[in-house]
Structure 1
Amino acid sequence: MTIARIIATFGGCGLAPKAPGTVGSLAALIAGLPLLKKPKVLLLSAVAATGVGLWASHKAGDGEDHSWIVIDEVAGMWISLLACAAVDKKKSAGWLWPLVAFGLFRLFDIKKPGPVGYMDRRHDAVGIMGDDVVAGIMAALCIKVLRTAAGFFKKA
């Protein structure tokens, strides 16, 4: 197995026989949880996954979005987790928001609304990575709105 394929499959997660995108997203969630107390490291990890994912998906997948390419799910999941980072670094972010981020990210990645679908229709490495990056941004924005609303209702 080449380095590009190891990266594209996120260490083999993309080779799962069923739902490799969900498996890759779940692996990214688990890998990202410890970084919720270190949002800068999580951000750098998401940027690195995106950059190396562009290269790996082009090299290993020949520009086609094969189901075994899941580095894009990793980047998108880590982007969505950025909105879950603990406000107080001494407190845990808990499980609720990361699970909501996982659900929203998968929803946007599967249903491909608006800009996610636009990126998905590109048949190149930018499209492979781009649809999940956009899905991650959309999930993060939703999490921010939901967390703000939850904080508002908690004070009332």
Structure 2
Amino acid sequence: MIQLNIREVLLTVSGLGYLPVVPGTFGSLPPVLLVLVFVVLEIPVSVMYLFLVCTALTFLIACLSFGDWAQDRWESDDPQAVVADETIGQTLPLFWLPWHGSGTEESLLWTGFLVMIAVSAFRAFDVSKPPPLRALERMPGGWGIISDDIGAGVYAALTTGLVIRVVQPTDVDTVVAHLLRVL
């Protein structure tokens, strides 16, 4: 009989943390995928913001409440199986994206471009841990697990914001054409 452990379910984001390759990347995808569903279905932006806040708070509370348990369970200060911190961190750059559009192909391409930048920036900062992110991991318990990811999320939000300022929505055709050339 399988015993459900709510701590593991929350901290591993329903088992994504147990994936054998890039569990952190998979842990950052749930808010991304659900936000894209919200955009495609044209669900009001206010509902999407509420979703992002509730997602971040749920996993924040889980990491802070069960952080000591996780460190003991996986014998690590920042266990690889715990990907709830990546879920939290990824919500930050997504929250600050300019969510608007008419559901046209152009607005969907622009949204996809921005989401790609937000995800890439978050993962780059989370993996490279520029100062002071690596030092934040040394905080005790759940704070040590989440603080570097929150910092990476802030860095990613700022980076994505800069990209938005440089590349305007009117330049989507140019951006998409350039991306296609690069690929």
Q: TM-score, normalised by structure 1?
A: 0.84
Cα separation, 2, equivalents of 1:89 and 1:61: 46
Q: 1:60 to 1:147 in 2, by over 3 A?
A: same
Q: Deviations over 1:41-79 (max 9, x none)?
A: 312322332222222333333372110000000000111
Q: Quick one: which of 95, 105, 113 aligns to 2:112?
A: 95
Written as runs of structure 1 = structure 2, the 5 A alignment for 1:13-32 is 13-32=16-35
| One-letter code aligned to 1:11 | S
| One-letter code aligned to 2:83 | V
Give the structure 2 partner of residue 34 of structure 1.
Answer: 37
Cα offset, 1:95, TM superposition: 0.9
Cα separation, 2, equivalents of 1:40 and 1:85: 15
Q: How many residue pairs are counted as aligned between the two chains?
A: 154
Q: Quick one: which of 95, 103, 109 aligns to 2:126?
A: 109
1:10 aligns with 2:49: no
Identity %: 27
Q: Quick one: which of 64, 67, 87 aligns to 2:80?
A: 67
Contact 2:70 2:79 in 1 (8 A): no
Give the structure 1 partner of residue 155 of structure 2.
Answer: 138
| One-letter code aligned to 1:107 | A
Moved over 4 A (4+): 88-93
Contact 1:57 1:69 in 2 (8 A): no
Q: Quick one: which of 31, 53, 62 aligns to 1:52?
A: 62
Give the structure 1 partner of residue 94 of structure 2.
Answer: 81
Cα separation, 2, equivalents of 1:119 and 1:31: 29
- Structural RMSD (CA): 2.4
- List runs of 5+ in structure 1 lacking aligned partners: none
Contact 1:7 1:56 in 2 (8 A): no
Contact 2:64 2:141 in 1 (8 A): no
| One-letter code aligned to 2:79 | H
Greater radius of gyration (CA): 2
1:128 aligns with 2:145: yes
Contact 1:75 1:133 in 2 (8 A): yes
Contact 2:12 2:18 in 1 (8 A): yes
